[in-house]
């Protein structure tokens, strides 16, 4: 059966500035670019030869995917970019400083918004400078797919059909599949793959630029998982 490699994009400008990011399209920092290249080198050392790459439509993931593939000498493989792999939409928290938000609303509310499975942040204000509803990259979907906010359960609901329709068939066809995405879209995918409960998922943190290599069987059950770091 095929294999599946998951990589969270390298450090972004707002990871560095500790701001809620979501669907806002910030770029990588120089350190983030290097994290992505290092992920590529780890994969090269492990003998990875991805056949196809899936990523989001946000540049921190798109550029990380390209940097990983450059290191592997495989910039030529087919790529599919899709909003369903985007980061979780952080609603009205988008752009805010995480430490200031915690100080203002208290740790319990902050953690519920940030890691609670079914607690969406307040919706983004229409016309907010961080409202991406008019962004042309979402115009082709024929309906208003840009959410006003999302909790992790919402990300699972929009990501799992994409996994089932587009990614899993590649794995089942025996291909090496690379997915370069985001902390919360990968958290949603890993929850689904590993059967992690709603109660346990808040504890799962995914580091930037560290490849997670899964071997799956014909029923898409996880047979092996390796973390390539060091």
Catalytic residue ranges: 9, 87
137 is in an annotated binding site: no
- Please name the residues in contact with 74: beta carbons below 8 A apart, sequence gap of 6 or more: 49, 50
Instruction: Note whether 120 binds ligand 2PG by CB under 6 A.
Output: no
Q: Which of the residues 184 through 213 are near ligand 2PG (CB under 6 A)? A: 184
Does residue 63 have a known ligand-binding role? no
Which residues, in sequence order, are CB contacts of 47 under 8 Å at separation 6+? none
Instruction: Give the residues across from 107 on adjacent strands.
Output: none
- Exposed/middle/buried for residue 215 (C-beta within 10 Å: 0-12, 13-18, 19+): middle
DSSP SS3 for 76: coil
90 binds ligand 2PG (CB under 6 A): yes
CA neighbours within 13 Å on the CB side: how many for 226? 12
Does 56 engage in binding with ligand 2PG (CB under 6 A)?
no
- Cβ proximity to ligand 2PG: between 64 and 184 the closer is 184
Buried (b) or exposed (e) across 150-181, using 16+ Cβ within 10 A? bbbbbbbebbbebbeebbbebbbeebbbbbbb
Contact residue for ligand 2PG among 3, 5, 7, 15 (CB under 6 A) = 15
130 makes contact with ligand 2PG (CB under 6 A): no
Per CB under 6 A, the list member of 5, 6, 11, 21 interacting with ligand 2PG is 21
Cβ proximity of 132 and 138 under 8 Å: yes
Residues 168-187 that bind ligand 2PG (CB under 6 A): 183-184
Q: Which span (19-27, 43-51, 67-75, 211-219) binds ligand 2PG, by CB under 6 A?
A: 19-27
Q: Identify which range of 13-21, 159-167, 192-200, 214-222 contacts ligand 2PG by CB under 6 A.
A: 13-21
- Residue 182 CB, nearest distance to ligand 2PG (Å)? 6
Residue 101 binding ligand 2PG, by CB under 6 A: no
Residues 55 and 136 sit within 8 Å (Cβ to Cβ): no
* Apex 196 CA angle, 195 and 198, nearest 5: 125
95 near ligand 2PG, rule: CB under 6 A: no
Of 20 and 214, the one with the shorter C-beta distance to ligand 2PG is 20
184 carries a ligand binding annotation? yes
Decide: 123 and 148 in contact? Cβ < 8 Å. Answer: yes
Site for ligand 2PG, rule CB under 6 A: 15, 20-22, 87, 90, 114, 183-184
């Amino acid at each position: 059966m095929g294999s599946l490699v998951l990589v969270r994009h390298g450090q972004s400008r707002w990871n560095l500035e500790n701001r809620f990011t979501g669907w806002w399209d910030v770029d990588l920092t120089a350190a983030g670019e290097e994290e992505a290249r290092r992920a590529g080198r780890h994969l090269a050392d492990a003998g990875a030869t991805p056949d196809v790459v899936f990523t989001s439509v946000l540049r921190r993931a798109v550029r990380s995917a390209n940097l990983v593939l450059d290191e592997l000498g495989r910039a030529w493989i087919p790529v599919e970019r899709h909003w369903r792999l985007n980061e979780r939409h952080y609603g009205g928290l988008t752009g805010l400083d995480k430490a200031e938000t915690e100080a203002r609303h208290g740790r319990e509310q902050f953690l519920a918004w940030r890691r609670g499975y079914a607690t969406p942040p307040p919706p983004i204000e229409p016309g907010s400078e961080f409202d991406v509803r008019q962004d042309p990259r979402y115009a082709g979907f024929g309906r208003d797919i840009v959410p006003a906010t999302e909790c992790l359960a919402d990300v699972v609901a929009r990501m799992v059909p994409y996994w089932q329709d587009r990614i899993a068939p590649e794995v089942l066809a025996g291909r090496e599949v690379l997915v370069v995405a985001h902390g919360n879209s990968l958290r949603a995918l890993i929850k689904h793959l590993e059967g992690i409960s709603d109660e346990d998922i808040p504890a799962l943190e995914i580091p930037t630029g560290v490849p997670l290599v899964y071997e799956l069987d014909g029923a898409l059950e996880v047979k092996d998982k390796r973390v390539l770091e060091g």
